[in-house]
Amino acid sequence: MATLRLGDTAPNFTADSSMGTINLYDYLGDSWGILFSHPADFTPVCTTELGTAANFKGEFDKRNVKMIALSVDGAASHKEWIKDINEVQNTTVNFPIIADEDRKVSDLYDMIHPKADSTLTVRSVFIIAPDKTVKLTLTYPASTGRNFYELLRVVDSLQLTANHKVATPANWEHGNDVVVSPAIPTDEARKIFTKGVEEVKPYLRMTPDPTA
């Protein structure tokens, strides 16, 4: 399977999960989605990640983002593992974990990188827009847990730039100044962005976050 690229349609699938049978498109509906894979159940870094994800679910909910995880173990194993996650992370896992024992979803999303491990998934992340296109991909090695603050930051940027003619600069967070799209002439930009436009360079114009 070729690697999914930005703008590609996220492949649909139906699979068993810790919450029963899940069809990706039906589950997402008109929401954004974040799909993230874990190498295996009962592994230490994954346990911290899923507990953290559960604690962040409210923030993703505010942004209309539905969470869905995946591991190559079965649903029964997931349910037992969730008990451990809830206990040690003092949380309640409140989103489905896909059971991908046959690796069908992992293959669809190119989550198994043979030079890292021939059977277990790497830590893949896919952010999927309501139109089912892939808006972000990230790949972490098994040894590195994800930063969920960064994933929220990326969602904020994706949702802002989907609706406004701006881009977000390095280390941007919601409420910070944003970059005016290079395609917009400065005179036009000043009419669009009524909070003001600062021309740092002809190609670098800044304006306050239009949603703040």
Rounded to 10 deg, the angle between the 44-62 and 75-89 helix axes is 80
- List of long-range contacts for 91-95, beta carbons under 8 Å, 24+ apart: 91/51, 91/54, 91/55, 92/54, 93/18, 93/50, 93/51, 93/53, 93/54, 94/54, 94/57, 95/19, 95/53, 95/54, 95/57, 95/66, 95/67, 95/68, 95/69
| Cα 168 to Cα 179: distance, rounded to the nearest angstrom | 6
> What DSSP letter does each residue of 93-155 carry, written as one string?
--S-EEE-TT-HHHHHTT---TTT-SSS--EEEEEE-TTSBEEEEEEE-TTS---HHHHHHHH
- Locate 145 and state its tokens: 């847990």
Choosing from 46, 97, 111, 122, the catalytic residue is 46
| Cα 124 to Cα 112: distance, rounded to the nearest angstrom | 9
Q: Which helix (H) or strand (E) holds 66?
A: strand 65-71
For residue 191, the one-letter residue type is: K
Q: Is 46 designated active site?
A: yes
> Which residues form the catalytic set?
46
